[in-house]
Amino acid sequence: MNTILKKQQLAEEVRRAKEEGVEFHLLQNTIRILGDDYGRVAGLECQRCELGEPDESGRAICLFPCIYPCTN
């Protein structure tokens, strides 16, 4: 499959996901998965990052932690 076709398919998937209400949180690093008393996923703890001078590993600089609760 050629690169242009792959990009077109990805763009279509993103468009459909947005129509279904999926929120995209870009430049985030997952720190841990949060669980409830029944062992189910309750949310994600992430670090927000920003583009800028990379750290020693070449990654974006992380600013502060944030938590995204699961809604369904």
Write the pLDDT tens digit of every residue in 11-67.
999 999 999 999 888 888 888 999 999 999 999 888 887 777 777 887 777 777 777
Task: Report if residue 58 sits inside a domain.
Answer: yes
Would the pTM of this model clear 0.75, i.e. be above it? Answer: no
Predicted local confidence at residue 51, as pLDDT: 73
What pLDDT is recorded for position 72? 60
Q: What is the pLDDT of residue 42?
A: 93
User: Within a domain: residue 4?
Assistant: no
- 11 lies in a domain? no
Considering the domain boundaries, does residue 16 fall inside one? no
pLDDT band at residue 1 under the 50/70/90 scheme:
low
Tell me which residue range forms the domain holding 40: 25-72
**For residue 47, what are the contacts with CB-CB under 8 A and spacing of at least 6?**
28, 29, 31, 62, 63, 64, 65, 66
